[in-house]
Amino acid sequence: MNKTVTKFFTIADYEEEEEWLRDQHRNGWKIVKITPPCSYTFELCEPEDVIYRLDFSNKEESEEYMNMLKDFGWEYIGQCVGWLYFRKPASETKTQEEGELFSDNVSKAELVSNVITTRMVPICLIFLCCVIPNFMRFMNGEFVGTFGMILGLFFSVMFVVYVYLIIYCGTKLKRIRKRYED
Amino acid sequence: MDDKIKRIYVPMTESGFYILYCLQTPQHGYGISQQVKKMTGGTVVISAGTMYGTLSKMEKDGLIRFSHEEEKRKLYQLTELGEEILAIEIKRIERVYRNIKGEHINE
């Protein structure tokens, strides 16, 4: 039996997402597929404590990377907009590090920096170069007619969403990075 | 030696040091992590992502190079630059060790 759940995690919520997937597995639902932007397909299974970890990559991961993670006991589940999903039964981890993809703070902070440069920077650019100018044009009454109204409303919604995303993700990612840098 | 490389790697992280130390003989990522775990009595455990990231970076910076492949696993070994950096780090750690034992170093 399968179930599909729609749940939205921002790019700054990957640690919460890991915990959520672990909870699902504890309750007998293991993830089989993640469909962008926010749809999760689970399969009924024996309840088990399984650790879930996400890595972020802006490029196609090499065979070497996949093989190395397999050597370390990680099962690859799939990929979704740059995020790679892995899992490992908690019973196979003797130390905390064996249940982590990254064992030192330097590499944990690097993951956050990577997310900031490849995700936050484009979001800010789209906001500055597309959302703000069009929102201003709408506010100045430059969009006319029904189509203009729809376009204006679209950019107004985008304006709010982007402001929220930039403030929420920006501060949260910086906070996570700071936790590992101190 | 390139000053920039020296600035990045001296001093280096504990994982970085152990990885470099192990690569005096050719080894693959998982092998290194097992060796380090054994050497340190399980105190230093290097995770998969940290291992992969460190190896990629060290290869890019010319500290290590691809040696050969065994059962689809890439084995790496130190380059001359890697040996140089490792020697500097060992000397630094020895100095720290002697200092904390109360020794003064007169050169």
pLDDT in tens, B10-45: 889 999 999 999 999 999 999 999 999 999 999 999
Q: Is the pLDDT of residue A38 over 90?
A: no
Structural domains in chain B? Answer: 3-99 (1.10.10.10)
Count of CB atoms within 10 A of residue A137's CB?
15
- Asked if A72 and B53 come within 8 Å (Cβ–Cβ), the reply is no
SS3 for B63? coil
Which of left, alpha, beta for B26 (phi over 0: left; psi -120 to 50: alpha)?
Answer: beta
Q: Is the pLDDT of residue B107 over 80?
A: no
The H or E element containing residue B32 is helix B29-39
For residue B77, give the DSSP letter: E
CA B89 – CA B11 distance, rounded (Å)? 7
User: How many CB pairs below 8 Å do chains A and B form together?
Assistant: 65
The H or E element containing residue B87 is helix B80-100
- Asked if A72 and B51 come within 8 Å (Cβ–Cβ), the reply is yes
Interface of A with B in 20-59 (CB under 8 A): 55
| pLDDT band (50, 70, 90) for residue B100 | very high
Residue A174 and residue A165 in contact, taking contact as beta carbons nearer than 8 Å: no
CA-nearest residue of chain A to B49?
A: A101
Residue type present at position A9: F
* B48 interfacial to chain A (CB closer than 8 Å): yes
pLDDT in tens, A68-118: 999 999 999 998 888 999 999 999 988 888 899 999 888 999 999 999 989
- Long-range own/partner contacts, residues A25-31 (CB < 8 A, 24 or more apart): A25/A49, A25/A50, A25/A52, A25/A87, A26/A50, A29/A3, A31/A77, A31/A85, A31/A87
Of the candidates A121, A52, A110, A108, the one whose C-alpha atom is nearest the C-alpha of residue A80 is A52
- pLDDT, position B95: 93
Mean pLDDT score, B76-101 = 94
Chain B residues touching A65 at Cβ < 8 A? 52
Mean pLDDT score, A142-168 = 91
Write the CA distances from B1 to B4, B59, B65, B80, B94, integer angstroms.
9, 16, 17, 11, 21
Among residues of chain B, what percentage have pLDDT more than 90? 81
Domain ranges of chain A: 2-99, 105-181
Who wins on pLDDT, A7 or A37?
Answer: A7
Chain B residues touching A101 at Cβ < 8 A? 47-50
For A99-108, B85-94, B98-107, which range has the lowest pLDDT when averaged over its residues?
B98-107
| pLDDT band (50, 70, 90) for residue B60 | very high
Which of left, alpha, beta for A135 (phi over 0: left; psi -120 to 50: alpha)?
Answer: alpha
- pLDDT, position B1: 66
Count of CB atoms within 10 A of residue A51's CB?
22
- pLDDT, position B92: 93
